[in-house]
Amino acid sequence: MGVLFLAGACTGAKPLPVASGPPSTSPSSSAGGSPSGSPASSPVIDPLCKPPPPEKPGQQKGGALPPAIARIADQVEEERGLKFKRPVAPEPVSRQQIARMLTRSYQEQYPKAQAAAEGRALITMGALPAGTDLYKAVLDFGTSQILGFYDTQTHKLVFQSNKAFSPLARFTLAHELTHALQDQNFGLERLDRLNRVCRDDRAEAFLSLIEGDAVESQIRWARSSLSNDDIRQIQREAAGFPPPPASVPRFVQEEFRFPYAAGQSFVETIIARGGLDALDNALRHPPVSTEQVLHPAKYPKDTPRDVRASDISAKLGKGWKATDFSDVGEGFLQDMFQLELPAPEARQAAAGWDGGQYRAFGKGSRTAVLLTTVWDTERDAGEFSATMGRWISKRSAKVVRKGTSVTVLFASDKATLRILETAVG
């Protein structure tokens, strides 16, 4: 979608990584979804990866910034150690205007049919409650929680404000101005390219770096440029921000929020290693997995294997077709497990990930999902298998482990699980 957000209570948000389809991967060697070990840069694009047409580039407006905004832009430049290379024209709008803009963008970039297929897969896996309308959940979260956004394709910078230009509006603007600096100095169109070829975990990792940098930058700006009274006012406004609507399941919220919390922690580690120069270098050579984001010691050398869950629709029988697929990175697994398990157990079960993907299939009201994962060691695979075994205890599913590879079969009902087991063999 090419849009970078800042949401309420100083928490960022974006459409689900899987909204634009999963990352392309290399073909598997068997119908059961055995992973391949091909390079992460594989150019193969999955047939299900059908991103929407790109937005038309926006024209940059000239002219001088209003003094109050120009002052913030100068301060953000100083805090971040970067310079604007061309004029940027922030657009202050009302909350209602932001909601309308985002609604139009979602309607263009996230087709309802795509959201429905993705929703059925996530429900079958247990990540979403039965009956969830994923399109509505994403739209409701975005239009109720987002305070501002920067569009990497049109270079539009929009933030919620009013005539008073409150401390929260300035705080939001500092975040979005950091995105403009990143874009002008390092080129954020690379994120759009990853999304367009459906490299979701890789895109999520890059997004986490981008958002973590913007969060860290706005916090540094606030500490040096706002008064204690201003900061207290921001805290009061954030505390009064409405919670996400009841239509937004926890998994959707966590997937929106991941790049901000995990990204800021990653950025703090990178800065501790080598200052802003190291951060700039990371933007030139971003992390390639959410595993690297969660474990900065694995950046940049520990790269994952490309894994593809096979298209077994023909083996499922007449009327079955592939409907959805997605990267399943460490961040995805951690967020999913934490829905029902204590955070330490969820983190431990997802650690040691080395690649993963699910592929979903549908026939009428039936859904089958094939999840293929690989792990660093057999011990890691065993820990994941044991935790997944508890996860599926209330679901129609089965775990199959072979060495460092773990395949999980999910189904909407027991009869569909039997069909899936037969197809996988």
What pLDDT shows up at residue 161?
85
What pLDDT shows up at residue 27?
23
- What's CA 399's distance to the chain center, in Å? 26
Which of 153-157, 269-273, 281-285, 365-369 shows the lowest per-residue confidence on average (mean pLDDT)?
Answer: 153-157
Q: Which has more pLDDT, 136 or 36?
A: 136
What CA–CA distance (Å, rounded) separates 411 from 176? 42
Please determine, for residue 62, whether its predicted confidence score (pLDDT) is greater than 60. no
What pLDDT shows up at residue 237?
87
What CA–CA distance (Å, rounded) separates 321 from 34? 20
* Residue whose structure tokens are 């905004």: 69
Q: How far, CA to CA in Å, does 366 sit from each of 224, 266, 357, 389? A: 56, 40, 20, 22
Q: Residues 211-248: pLDDT tens digits?
A: 999 999 999 999 999 999 999 999 998 888 889 999 99
Residue 394 structure tokens: 């209330």
What CA–CA distance (Å, rounded) separates 157 from 105? 14
- Tally of helices (H runs) and strands (E runs) in the chain: 15, 9
Radius of gyration of the chain (CA): 22
